[in-house]
Structure 1
Amino acid sequence: MTRSTIEALRQGARRRLPRLVFDYIEGGSGAEQALAANLQAMSRVALAPRLADVSRRTLGTRILGEDIALPLVLSPVALGGLAWADGERLAARAAARAGVPYTAATLSNAPLAHIARDCPRPPWFQLFVFKDRALSERLMDDALSLGCRVLVLTIDMPLLADHHRGLGHDVRPDPATALKLAWGLGRHPGWWWRHLRSRRFSLGNLDGPLSAPDGIASLASWLGDQLDPSLGWSDLGWVRARWPGALVVKGVLDADSARQAAEQGADAVVVSNHGGRQLDAARATIAALPEVVAAVGERLEVHLDGGIRSGLDILRALALGADAVHIGRPYLYGLADAGEAGVERCLAILRRELDQGLAMCGCSSIREVDARALAANGDLIDR
């Protein structure tokens, strides 16, 4: 059956994935307040229908010097290969065919070289600045050598937050959890069979620091040691000095942080609360977006991440000043449901919904979308 909404893809993913894996994708930190706030705040941004000639419409735009078919980017996801064997490479290929960027994660299962090898559009690359600066330098050098022109620097993860469902902190389960995992795997033979037949399941970019046989199991401990709580804005300057391509700073939720990123030479910021997976009391991203746009929108690009579940959500973000949005869970739902075809379906759903919303708001192109698309008395929450 063809899925027609992101929620339908989500339900498909829930049925196809072992519970622990689905909860890892779905869950947030703490009591999951920030995760819920992203969705609730987005739904409360009202749009206004307008009469206009919209017989010819275009959804393409240009970000960071690159023409893209839709104003969206696929976000980096740690252990994204859990959704589908070799899933990161498949998602990158689907994104390239759809004409949008894919961001490979430092903590991907597949190595960046594997993701980039047969992808017609070079991926973007996401970076953590680790305590081991030489490792971060090596990751940047590898990305450059593989043709990546955009680096996404994540700044909102000085340490690991508590997660109370899914895989949580520790990929090495206790006996009770191991029994639940084994039972869940047994109920999803298609999932484990694809993984058994796929290439070696690993942490491809970290095979040196986290080599077999227990690299995956050691991830939480190693990451806890390597995340750097002393990270400051001067370190962003260090990255800027080493990286010759476009630099995107992800994890900004206020005007002051946005200005700091601009002063350090960022080309774009992503208004993001890590999909509700870090600070559980964080502000909803759509509520923070206007403040960031007002502070730096004339100096650099402003993107939004978090709470996107439909094409109308993309339109809401654009109307509030975003140049593009980033999606994580929506394409993972598609990936878990049907592999590469599922990611294609996710992007087709968002395209259709965005196109319909664009027409109903009286706009013929993405570049026409501005505050006029918002309802005059729209209920914009300020959390």
Structure 2
Amino acid sequence: MRRIIVLGSTGSIGTQALDVIRANPRRFELVGLSAGSNAEVLARQAEEFRIEDTALGAEESEQLVRDVEADVVLNAITGSIGLGSTLAALRAGRTLALANKESLIVGGELVKSAAAEGQIVPVDSEHSALAQALRSGTHDEIRRLVVTASGGPFRGRTREQMGDITPAEALAHPTWDMGRVVTTNSATLVNKGLEVIEAHLLFDVDYDDIQVVVHPQSIVHSMVEFIDGSTIAQASPPDMRLPISLALDWPHRIGGVGRPLDWTQATSWDFEPLDDEAFPAVALAKSVGRAGRTFPAVFNAANEQAVDAFHEGRLPFLGIVDTIARVVDAHEAPDQLTVETLSDAETWARTTADRLIAQQ
């Protein structure tokens, strides 16, 4: 029986995690819940699961992690505000089921230095797929990681064809049902750029050896190519409950979480190279990841400001990544990475992004 704290319990990942826990009462015990601001839904969840330990907001979530005895903390908070809870979980010795990729990306070496080997288990479907495939060989046998991308709603369009995209169009993802920020990030492929940084940090593979491939069916969630020419892929119908269940009870699998592929039906899977000219976010993210220090934090903060501006009608769709690039180019990183320098860099990035957006 694993005792679970779910942070961000009212969001997409959080509610699906509760589905897994609800269906497996002999395997999991829910001991704590937190939400960002949705107190009404949080109260209903707490009543259903008979949970007394709840938290609202980032600071209370951190305190919940420190105070409540648990085996696993699922961090499904959205945005870099989840960094404090990530560090709190690691320092408390909990297994961290990480859906809040921003905290690892922004925290970088701060997070890695706080984590024991195997303490962070990824929840993202791509990184869960990589973790599963990597069990087929040693680290020295890896040739490259292949991260798949659906391509989003604008796959196949040129840059010129994306000049007048509306927020409603950007939110019409062909595969996944996600929140506003993550869905928009999938449309710009900023999300895939963040996932490349996450893959580098999780698996210690060089950026030159991490490739993004467009796979519109979203059946193959990622692949690992080994030095003997063998490629191991993890494939399943799109359903986040599968990687969530693995993260909650890693490395054990839970029966009946997701439906398998139907091999009695004829089907085909497509794989296409990424169009870096139309979608420059992945290449930009790689350069930011290589630069390290506070650059990933600046990338992420500038993106959050630009996404808000796009949905408020103050910035065109293409302006999102263009704004990130301009903010990154203007950034001068401090020599040391600390929680304080990260906070300062994020504040600077948000202010700079807002100023650049206002000038357009």
Scaled by the length of structure 2, the TM-score of the pair is 0.28
TM-score, scaled relative to structure 1: 0.27
Q: Which has the higher strand share?
A: 2
